[in-house]
Structure 1
Amino acid sequence: MITRRTALGVIGSALLPGTLRAADREPEFFKSQLEEGKLPPVAERLPRMPRIVKVASMGRQPGKHGGTVRTLIGSQKDIRLMTIYGYARLVGYDETLTLQPDILESFTSEEDRVFTFRLREGHKWSDGSLLTSEDFRYCWEDIINNEDLGGVDTALMVDGKGPVFEVVDTLTVRYTWHAPNPDFLPKLAAPQALSLVVPAAYLKQFHKNYQDEAKLEELMKQNKAKKWTSLHIRMARQYRPENPDLPTLDPWRNTTKPPAEQFVFERNPFFHRVDENGLQLPYIDRFVLNVSSSSIIPAKTGAGESDLQAINLDFTDYAFLKDAEKRYPVKVSLWKKTLGSRLALLPNQNTGDAVWRPLLRDVRVRRALSLAIDRREINMAVFYGLATPSADTVLPESPLFRPEYAQAWIKHDPGQANALLDEAGLSLRDDDGIRILPDGRPAQIIIESAGESTLETDVLELVADHWRNVGLALFIRNSQRDVFRSRALAGQIMMSIWSGIDNGVPTADMNPGQLAPTADDQLQWPVWGAHYVSHGEIGEAPDMPEAAELMRLLKEWRHTVTTPERAAIWHKMLSIYTQQVFSIGIVNATQQPILATTRLRNLPKEALYGFDPTCYFGVYMPDTFWLGEET
């Protein structure tokens, strides 16, 4: 049995050693609400056993309450960043990527089959209502198992079967599977976490099983919803918190209803974490998110319009941002991106072109394309020599890293590339030296891009020269992201450029699904991915032996119990993925600029930066960031 408990302590009338008096622990932000009796005192707002975050033991400085942080976002949808940054999860990762309870007081796992969750007594939603097992029951019975509202997530299915859910008592729930489900806890810790708990007391007013029919009709009319299900879905959205009235467990709650050009997130008065001095977290009172065009966010950031910025910044902005340090009280750090490859070329195994499809499915062709690329030149010209030439694979920071994965087919060897292309049946060339396809066409590879980064264009111009040297012509086509992905799924894309695997720092206990066709936005095999996510309703099952083997190994991983078993499967999958060159990596370990006001404390100078699993800033606990004097 695996048991996880977090550091506990009682924060009430009796204080922990070294903590402050109750009156001194109140944020100034709530002073007027406390005086007017609209909020109870902090001792009554916290759970009986809050999560104690020992800030000093993290190598940081315990802080103080107050202040506003401004940041820039590229669209209204990006308010989801506050859910990611806040990183309040039932269970979550720490900086070492070890799982631990967060919202939960504790959990137990028996053979990764039986998971028992214990809630914190007195833990409240942001509106002051109690968090109880009823919030889990409502989510399970009335949302997940209501086909019109939810449907059972793949992470909850083992061999096509979901778990048995039990309410043990007011503060305890249990999920039991017939076989191991090692994916369960990591999915709860994910950037877009598996949802198991919602504020039932609030949401029942929008559910036909709990609301009077006439009242429900009136609510639908008020909110311009044609169906009660669409109304419920809109009001219940947690990941992108567009409903200011929806109670939350996050450190900050949205106070602005879209559409808007500015969104204000204010501290959650009932947030469940405190520091070692008894101060309720978060330290920062308010985040203000200003919507701007993505293309001008670097310029606005360099003009002093953001207090904390990473989204929509790239390494190409670094010199400009560093120069801003001379004019504004800001500082710029560089964190290491966790992507398996900063940019990757993705030959579409499902392309509709009847001539290119068998060629791109020929491993000799994929290896030749990789060997023809001069990664050292790209690194020096585009990344100033600061990146690492590598296949699209895990980084040295991952316990699963092996040098042979990173080195697979990345040596610049035009001679071997030419030989492999000849062997694959592309030995004939035209007068310009371009190879001739079996149907007589010149071997022209069209690489499609979402056109969101000049970095892509810079890299592709160099790759075009490298491939020209082995008789292949490269052309670039740009399209909008949504169109781009739709075209890929329809087989209209031959090859695309995107980032490599999202999680370059996995542990064996994390799902290896990124190495297999498991999503329709995996541009190297979108049709196979669509088949997986739709449970076979659309798309096609992999008909390529190596891809089918990756799917078999993924299924095997999902039935494992021990970490060594999982690690062995990971290594088999990493070997297949890199040797088959399903994704042509260029460089990894690239740098992400992080700009922050000089007043911001506890932001690490160096760290890992990525969506999954670090949740950008999330695992570094932005609720412990605070604002001091300018330096």
Structure 2
Amino acid sequence: MKTISSLGAGLLALALSYTAAQAQMPDLQETPMLAAEVSAGKMPPIAQRIPEQPLIVTLKAPQEAGKPGGDLRSMISRARETRLLNVIGYTRLITYNEKYEYVPDLLEKFEIQDERVFTFYLRKGHRWSDGHPFTTEDFRYYWEDVANNRDLSPAGPMQDLLVDGEKPKVEIIDATTVRFSWSKRNPAFLPRIAGTSAFNLYRPAHYLKQFHVRYADPQKLAALAAADKRPNWAALHGRLDNMVEGDNPDLPGLDPWTMTTKPPAVRFVAARNPYFHRIDSNGRQLPYLDRIIFTQADGKLIPAKAGAGEADLQFRNINFSNFTFLKENEKRAGYKTLLWRTAKGSHIALYPNLNSNDETWRKLMRDARFRHALSLGIDRQAINESLFFGLAIESNNTVMPDSPLFKPEYKDTNAQLDVATANRLLDQIGLTRRDGSGIRLLPDGRPAEIIVETAGEDTEQTDVLELIGENWAKIGIKLFAKPSQRDVVRNRIFSGEAMMSVWAGMENGLPTADMKPNELAPTSQYGLQWPKWGQWFETGQKSGEPIDMPLVQELFDLYQAWLDTGDRAERARIWHRMLSIHAEQTFTIGVVTGVFQPIVANKKLHNIPKEGVFNWDPGAFVGLYRPETFWFGQ
């Protein structure tokens, strides 16, 4: 239920109160896995384990109420991928629903005033996975004893909590009410909370206090740090306080499953959280699945292992090129292969480095005619048909057709194959001389050989670059793909050593006007087309370079204007102007979008949608579709 009372002219300048719509409380049913412990008095019954007002998950046809039990198997290529547990569990203070609307999750309700004041109401009786109450003391501990403790957070609170450098005012109203407020509007606060990457404003204070100098005996704490081979208490606290990695099984959590295996290992077991706050409409506590088991394997072998039936749910380390093989083995191995549409601005995009250290290449990359020629020289249709069975969408790196901000010109401008126009543009620039192989010569006499840096983590990028290289040869440009480790590639881009790179496009291809347009402006060094300008902003002008291109400066100014306005119509206008600039300027070169992601699922696994949107943020891969409701049946 959402109630709105007007406080101003713009929709986002209203006071909003969001409360989870709840069905009538059903009769509770004990979880079979926990029944023995409850009977023995080792664990309280379900009525004492869930909040007074749990989140009641209403399943929609063809989904059906499930039966508790069973282990779900999945494979990871490295131990750190156990972080997927926090992603697919998608437990946040506030989450997105399937319409990308904000809904309370850990919170019972929340209120917003002019995007400056955010009041959060916890669920009374909610508990951590070890049974200890989850209260605003956990928020106070994080804010006072972690975020503002110089030993634990030398740089102070994380940047996501600052508005123009201003810290929030954090007020503990009572045991279940906490308020965050700023003097200026903070429209990025809710999207960050609801996002896939965890943004935990709380910590299990009852557990971590034993490792904090403010609460523990200094001598005992020093002994604990020494025993763990840590130089001091802060290093020990930092290692144990990791709610995302899942590498400390003793750390209480709030997710549907909690990790029980301590690394190093090759098999990681996560067991159901007995105090999880969600139930189904029949009174069954979620999750239905007792355990999730991650087994580490060589990433190159995971498609074959999935095809052999070694996973009950697999989407990591498989891609569309594996679809035919996976489909052929369904019946024999007892699984189904689902295809979900991805939602990035471009599945694969090229990033001309406008901050290249090479003066000649920097000048070319900053010439819109050069970027247009490269884009017009790509045969997207051939790439689509060769690699994606013609099922992808040929497009610039921009919003997808399902976004309310979509316009056809954003997708198509300078994105149609036109070799004649591409050659004419390159001639206009002055690249008229060619060598004996037909490759154009740069003004300094070097051949126009573009080295595209790639992390080489999947064959799709390599295949796409090979086809683009064949296309560009027709306009006198030579492409070389240079694979390196991910960190090496990024550092070369950030430093200006790379002239061009390849990566996925806009993370969120389905934005609304109320979502921050930070990817369209130089706000981070991870903007691979302008890393040094992004770094200039990120570091408060301490490193990087100031923007020296008028249209890029306009993009940055538009982004700032979006942050400053609370009017939805004005935000939409800003989005459209920014999208228009990108379409007209081709700062990045998109190829195809909406590529299908194969998802291997055991045929007996119920409630996983046949069709869905597969995306990191928003979406949490499969997290948006509530894996806690997946269950094994016939």
Q: Which residue of 2 aligns with 1:5?
A: 19
25, 28, 33: which is aligned to 1:29?
33
The secondary structure found in structure 2 opposite 1:326 is helix
Query: Separation in 2 of the partners of 1:547 and 1:222?
Result: 53
Q: Hey, what's the Cα distance between the residues in 2 that align with 1:33 and 1:536?
A: 58
Contact kept in structure 2, 1:9 and 1:49, CA below 8 Å? no
Q: Deviations over 1:32-63 (max 9, x none)?
A: 3223322100000010010111113x651111
Match of 1:492 among 480, 491, 497: 497
**Aligned equivalents of 2:609, 2:349: Cα separation in 1:** 28
How many angstroms apart in 1 are the aligned matches of 2:277 and 2:546? 45
Long gaps (5+) in structure 1: 11-15
2:151 to 134, 148, 153: 148
Counterpart among 231, 234, 238 of residue 233 in structure 1? 238
Counterpart mapping for 1:362-373 below 5 A = 362-373=367-378
Q: Quick one: which amino acid aligns to residue 341 of structure 2?
A: K
After superposition, the C-alpha distances for 1:99-124 in whole angstroms (9 at most, x for unaligned) are 11100000000010110000110000
| Alignment CA distance shift 1:556-1:193 (3 Å) | farther
C-alpha deviation, 1:64, in angstroms:
1.5
Shift of 1:391: 0.2
Separation in structure 2 between the aligned mates of residue 261 and residue 580 of structure 1, nearest angstrom = 48
Q: What aligned pairs does 1:60-459 form with structure 2 within 5 A after superposition?
A: 60-150=63-153, 151-459=156-464
d(CA) in 1 for partners of 2:235, 2:500: 37
Paired residue for 1:479? 484
Q: Give the alignment's TM-score, normalised by structure 1.
A: 0.96
**Which position in structure 1 is the counterpart of 2:6?**
none
Match of 1:41 in 2: 45
**Per the alignment, do residues 415 and 147 of structure 1 end up closer, same or farther by CA in structure 2, a change over 3 Å counting?**
farther
Percent identical residues:
48
**2: distance between equivalents of 1:99 and 1:623?**
19
2:630 corresponds in structure 1 to 625
The question of whether the paired residues in 2 share the 8 Å contact of 1:182 and 1:560 is answered with no
Q: Which amino acid aligns with 1:4?
A: Y
Which residue of the partner structure matches residue 559 of structure 1? 564
TM-score (norm 2): 0.95
Kindly tell me the number of residue pairs found equivalent between the two proteins.
618
Is the counterpart of residue 538 in structure 1 residue 538 in structure 2? no
Shift in Å, 1:532 = 2.7
Quick check: 449-458 or 86-95, which moved more?
449-458
**Conserved in 1, the CA contact under 8 Å of 2:54 and 2:278?**
yes
Query: Residue 225 of structure 1 aligns to which amino acid in structure 2?
Result: R
> Residues 29 and 136 from structure 1, CA distance in 2 versus in 1: closer, same or farther, beyond 3 angstroms?
same
How far apart, in 1, do the equivalents of 2:486 and 2:340 lie?
26
Are residues 385 and 595 of structure 1, via their aligned partners in 2, closer, same or farther at CA, if it must alter by over 3 Å? same
**Alpha-carbon shift at residue 79 of structure 1 (Å):** 0.8
312-321 or 289-298, larger mean C-alpha shift: 289-298
Tell me how far 1:533 sits from its aligned partner. Answer: 2.7
Kept in 1, the 8 Å contact 2:226–2:232? The answer is no
Q: Distance in 2 between matches of 1:328 and 1:109?
A: 50
Amino acid at match of 2:87: I
Asked whether the 8 Å contact 1:255–1:263 carries over to 2, the reply is: yes
Counterpart in the other structure of 2:593: 588
Deviating more after overlay: 28-37 vs 204-213 = 28-37
Report the RMSD for the aligned CA atoms in angstroms.
1.4
CA contact (8 A) 2:355 2:531 kept: yes
SS in 1 for 2:350: strand
Give the counterpart letter for 1:77 in structure 2.
R
1:9 Cα deviation from its structure 2 partner: 6.1
Per the TM alignment, residue 546 of structure 1 is displaced from its structure 2 partner at its CA by 2.0
What amino acid sits opposite 2:108 in the alignment?
E
- Whether the 8 Å contact between 2:23 and 2:281 is mirrored in structure 1 is no
Match of 1:603 among 591, 605, 608: 608
5+ residue gaps, structure 2? 1-14
Residue 522 of structure 1 deviates from its aligned partner by 2.6
- Runs of 4+ aligned residues of structure 1 deviating over 3 Å after TM superposition are none
Residue aligned with 2:332, SS: coil
1:566, distance to aligned residue in structure 2 (A) = 1.9
Deviation readout 1:553-590 (Å, 9 max, x if unpaired): 22221122232222222111111122211110000111
Query: Does the 8 Å contact 1:9/1:50 carry over to 2?
Result: no
**Conserved in 1, the CA contact under 8 Å of 2:20 and 2:109?**
yes
